[in-house]
Every structure is written in C-alpha cells, then in structure tokens.
Structure 1
Amino acid sequence: MTARDVDAPAVAALVADAVLAPSMHNAQPWTFRHRTGDGVLELRADLERAMPRTDPHDRSLTIGCGAALFNLRVAAAHAGLAPAVRLLPDPGDPVLLAEMHLAAAAPGPAPGPGTPGAEAPGPAPDAELAALHPAVRLRHTSRHPFTDQEIPEPVRDALCAAAAREGALLSFTHPWHGDFLLDLVRDAEARDLRDAAGREELERWTRLGAEADTAVDGVPDYAFGPRKSDGRAPWRDFAGRRPVAGQGSTAFERQPHLALLSTHGDRPADWLGAGQALEHVLLRATLSGLSTSLTSHALESVELRRLVRDPVTGEGPVQMVLRLGYGPPGTATPRRPVDEVLTFG
C-alpha cells in the first residue's frame, strides 16, 4: 500500500485509535491534519487545552500527544502500513509535534536478477506494534483498589523492554522508595487544597451529574473511582470537596506496585518519547492482564519533581509515575469526535 492508497476513511480510522490515548485530565490536547498531496498525517498540539497552572511548560500536554502518536503507529501497523515518523519537523512551527508518512512510495525496479520492471517490496509493517492493537480499546485508567498479588518478573521485564524500545527507562520502585513517593503525593494533595487556581483548573476538566452523560472530554464522575477509606495508593481526588452521588469509599492497597518512567533529557523531544514509551508500556500491561493508573501529581511541582527520582537507580528526569496491579479494569472515558480533531488539506 502506498501513501496515495490511504484514503480519508482509512485516515479517520487511524485517528480514531490515536485519540484513545491517555492525557492529563483527559483534555485530549491534540489535533491532526492529513496532507492529501503527500500522504503525511500531522500531529499538532492543541494549546487551547493547555493547563498553565499545573503544566506551565506543556510537558504533560506533550506526553499525552506522544501517547496518541504511539497509538497511531500501532493502528498503522495493524492496517498493514509501515509509516515513517519525524518528531518536531519544523523548528518554526512548535505546535507541529510530528509528521507521519503513512506509507513510503514503493522503490523503483529492484537491481540484479528479477523480472524487469518489478518493484522491490516496501518496508514491512511492524508485527510487534500490530500485536498491541487489541489493547488500544481495552486500556482504561483504573482508579479502583488493586490486589496485593505480585507482578511476575517476566511481566515486569516485558514492560521495561517496552519502555526501552522507545528510548525511555521504566524502573519499579523498592518498597522504601514507594513509601516516599506516596508521601510526596500526599504533599501534592495538601498543596492543591491551598491552591485556588489549581482547583479551578481541575474543576474545568471534571464532569459532574448530567454534564458527565454528554461530555466528550474531561474526567466524568463515573470514572472518579471510590474515595479512599484506608490504604496508601497514589490517587488524585477529582471530586475535591464536591459531593458525588454514589461515589462511596473503600480500602486501597497499602503497598501499591509503582514504576517510574524516565528519559535521558527533559526537552520536548524527550517528552514525546516519554509519551510513546508510556503508551507502549500501558498497552503491553493491558495485554498481560494488568490494570493501570497514572499519577503526575508529585511531578507538577518543580520542588517535588526533583525528589521523585530514585536516588539509587534514577538515570534521568521522571516523566510519569505508574501504578500497576491486578484489579478491576478502568472505565472508558469520553472522546472528542474524530471530525472535530481531524482536518484534510
């Protein structure tokens, strides 16, 4: 299949998978543009969905876009394409985060023996990425308690390998460092309670009552999960001080399985790589029967973020804290319609 064979419905199907990626507060801070002339699909940051208080440098926004880019790669491989991706292709256009050539034009006649005029085959689709495709629609953030069951070493190794393939590092925390991270999350929660601007930003991206039934973005109340009555799992209380009908409370695990996703650098290209690594890990975890959730709570403060890195094994800035385990799957959250985020031209 060549670039000119990828028609509008096929492009829309790719984007429909891309937008299922996680993003901070489910803000979905991305748009896509298909350049029909050269078969390039652009991924752009939607800065109208930025969060100046909690994400002043658009780090989390860019990570979310990187996760959407990884879903695009998975969807393309599943569709039999072998796309070439360029990150940050135009320094003069900083919101253009990536370009994906959906298929390279088939090369000319193959040299040497063979049928005259025959075309050599193009690059093959990535079978490993294609195998992740079923998880794209199964992966949801779970804000429910997990069991205390250990994650087998082979599964941990596979998740670390998934991150490494995208140029990132995934490291599971030792219990003592996990306890320290939980303290940092509690510190972040306490700071949020005193920060009126932060509460206003959070409330902008939460959907309560009837609004949750028609929402196309944000975190609806049915995905908040129960309040903690006991336990120490890292967990952002999206309800805040607002009552949520039927939310209830329950005990969470006391020693959650936490993992840190780190990169070598801390610039936009690294954040895009972190987003791709994050989604690679989440999809692999989903296929391994794990439930997952994310917390960036302690990473939203410059002072706290410096402390998150493991002082023994930490090799770079931490971009995300993951909670993994065996428990109820997450609830699907709303998505913006494809025709709202995809244009052609």
Structure 2
Amino acid sequence: MSAQPLSEEQVTALAYDAAAAPSLHNAQPWRFRYFHGSRTFHVRADPGRVLPHTDPDLRALHIGCGAALLNLRVAALHGGWEPDTRLLPDPGDRDLLASVRMTGRRDGESDLGALYEAIRARHTSRYPFEEREIPEAVRTALVDAARAEGASLAFPTGWHLQEVLELAQEAEVRNLGDRGHDEELERWTHGGVPFSDTAAEGVPEYAFGPRKAGGRAPMRDFAAGRTVAGREAAEFEHHPHLALLGTERDRPEDWLRAGQAMERVLLLATLEGLSSSFAGQAVEWAELRWPLRDPVTGTGHVQMVLRLGYGPKGPATPRRPVREVLDIEPGTPGA
C-alpha cells in the first residue's frame, strides 16, 4: 500500500508510546525528532539526563533509549506502518542513536506489533513474587524474543544463580556506601520529597515497594536506608527467577540492541501474566559485571539482570509530557 504522511496526532501518539519505556532511575534519557518530509523519527540521547557516576560509559543510557526504540517500532507496526530502523546512522553525531523511517503501510498484525497492548500495562514491580515456577514454554518464548533482537537470555540455576545473587548483594552494599551513587539516587528520587502532581521523572516513593525483610530476591533499596513513612517490610522470594540478558560484543550498538531485546522480553512477559523488575546493580560495577557472564563458555557481556515472576503489578511511574521530548520538523534529516 502507498504511504501517506503521518498526522501530527499520529506522530505524537507514537512518541507517547515510545516514552513509556523503562530507564535507569526513570531518568528518561531520550528525545525524539520527527521529519514530515521523509516520515522519519530520530531517537536521540538527552545529555542532560546522564548519570555520570552510575553510568559513566553511557551503557545504561543506550539501553533505555533502545527500549524506547523498541516501543516505537511496536507502536508503528500496530498502527499499520513498516518501520525501517538504522542504529547509529551518523558517526559524526553521537547523540543520534537511531533513525526509524516509516516506509509504507502494511496489512495485518506482526508478532512484534502484537505486543502493543503491553506497552501501557508493563510497570516495574518491586513487590514480592510467588514461589511459583515459570513454565518452560514461557521461558522459551522469552529467550526467542531476545534472540529476535540480536541478544541472548539465560535463566541461571544452581551455583551460577547463587553467584549472581551474591554479586547483586555485593553491588547493593557498595551502592549504599558510595557517595556518588547516593547523590544520584537522591536526585532521581527527589531526596525523599513527596512527588507533586507535576513531577514527571524519577522514582517516586510509592514505587519503591516494601522494604526487604527476608528472602533472596535481589532488590535495590531506593530509600538508601532512610525511613519512608508508611513503607512496610515484606518477605521476598527465596527462589527468585532471574534472567541474564546479554550480547556477544559490548559496543554502543550492542547496548541499543540489548535495550530493544530487554523491552521485547518485558512486553511479552507482561502479556504472559508475569511481573518484572530489574536487578542490575552488579552490571553497574565493572569488576562485578564480568563474573556474571556465561560460566560455561566465559564469553558474552551481560547487559541487564531481570527479575521475573507471578505477583502484584507495579504502579505506573511518571513520564515527561510529550511536548518536552518531541520536536516535529517539516523537512527531511539534513535538509
């Protein structure tokens, strides 16, 4: 079918869906620019939303923007558009992470477009999950989802799972005693100041989840040891289900692929009735990230640790208004 120009309403809706992606501390490190002349979106890094201490090499920024890119692709396919995606299309512009050109209309729903309903339903859940196995068929589907985006997904067991849990615990101890990490966490949780109705970024106290009183699930303490009024303690899973998402190489384009794979896995998990959160503390420390890799081959690079299971859905966290993250241009890129 011949392609027609996207209306401003359609462009805004696509950016709105893209921005529902998760990111480190909900910093939302992305901007979108749409060019009417070529029906092309640019996904750009927002330098003002970097966490220089926690994410000095911008790996987490790329992963978050990759997740937003995946949402954009899903929303485009659901809307009947065929997205042609290029990663890092301009070596001279480091902030330009991807371009997505709507090349034409398509009939029927694709496997990727079918994930659309999960974009708004997916929320990070920092609550205890049930001690319940994830069916093998679901695990296989999640592995296939990661592979479709050029990444791997593995569910560690036995001594490897124990190693991952110990590394996460070590990272959490380091984080709680690290001044730079504490300062960045305070910024993105607003230092414990209650969120107003206009707060549009960071992790609000209502999304911290309960304080961990027991269990082995690796949970980040967003309160950083301070008391949060009304926050209760809870027992978490003793047999948590963790998944290691990795790539063969460790370059910016691999981080973008990892972000797309992560979001594809999370959206599918949501449709399968699973809740999810992140257990990525260890990947934030270079010397702890390396031992997370495949213990059999010793190859690959772990980009994120996911916690999956059956349990309460997490609350929605704030997002910046679309007008703050989207620019619409009349021409074509570079024109």
TM over 0.5: yes
Give per-residue Cα distances to partners, 1:138-178, cap 9 Å, x unaligned.
00000000011000000000000000000100000113222
TM-score by length of 2: 0.95
Secondary structure of the 1:319 match is strand
Deviation at 1:243, TM superposition (A): 1.6
**What is the distance in 2 between the residues matched to 1:47 and 1:296?**
22
164, 170, 178: which one aligns with 2:153: 170
Residues 218-229 of structure 1: matches in 2 within 5 Å? 218-229=202-213
CA contact (8 A) 2:22 2:64 kept: yes
Give the aligned partner of residue 295 of structure 2: 311
CA contact (8 A) 1:188 1:298 kept: yes
Give the aligned partner of residue 340 of structure 1: 324
Give the aligned partner of residue 110 of structure 1: none
CA contact (8 A) 1:82 1:125 kept: no
Q: Which has the larger radius of gyration?
A: 1
- Structure 1 residues 158 and 214, CA gap change in structure 2 (3 angstroms): same
Give the aligned partner of residue 332 of structure 2: none
Q: Is 1:128–2:102 an aligned residue pair?
A: no
Residues 1-345 of structure 1: matches in 2 within 5 Å? 4-104=4-104, 124=107, 127-207=110-190, 208-211=192-195, 213-312=197-296, 315-345=299-329
Between the aligned residues of both structures, percent identity stands at 57
Give per-residue Cα distances to partners, 1:188-231, cap 9 Å, x unaligned.
11112221111001111114343254310100000000001110
Count the aligned residue pairs: 328
Secondary structure of the 1:265 match is coil
Secondary structure of the 2:134 match is coil
Structure 2: gaps spanning 5 or more residues: 330-335
Paired AA for residue 196 in structure 1: R
Deviation at 1:38, TM superposition (A): 1.4
CA contact (8 A) 1:82 1:126 kept: no
Secondary structure of the 1:102 match is strand
**What is the distance in 2 between the residues matched to 1:221 and 1:212?**
11
Moved segments of 4+, more than 6 Å: none
CA contact (8 A) 2:194 2:204 kept: no
- Structure 1 residues 45 and 87, CA gap change in structure 2 (3 angstroms): same
Paired AA for residue 340 in structure 1: E
**What is the distance in 2 between the residues matched to 1:255 and 1:307?**
21
CA contact (8 A) 1:260 1:322 kept: yes
**What is the distance in 2 between the residues matched to 1:124 and 1:86?**
23
Paired AA for residue 279 in structure 1: E
CA contact (8 A) 2:6 2:36 kept: no
Paired AA for residue 323 in structure 1: R
TM-score by length of 1: 0.92
Say what the alpha-carbon RMSD is for the aligned residues.
1.4
**What is the distance in 1 between the residues matched to 2:196 and 2:245?**
31
Deviation at 1:181, TM superposition (A): 1.2
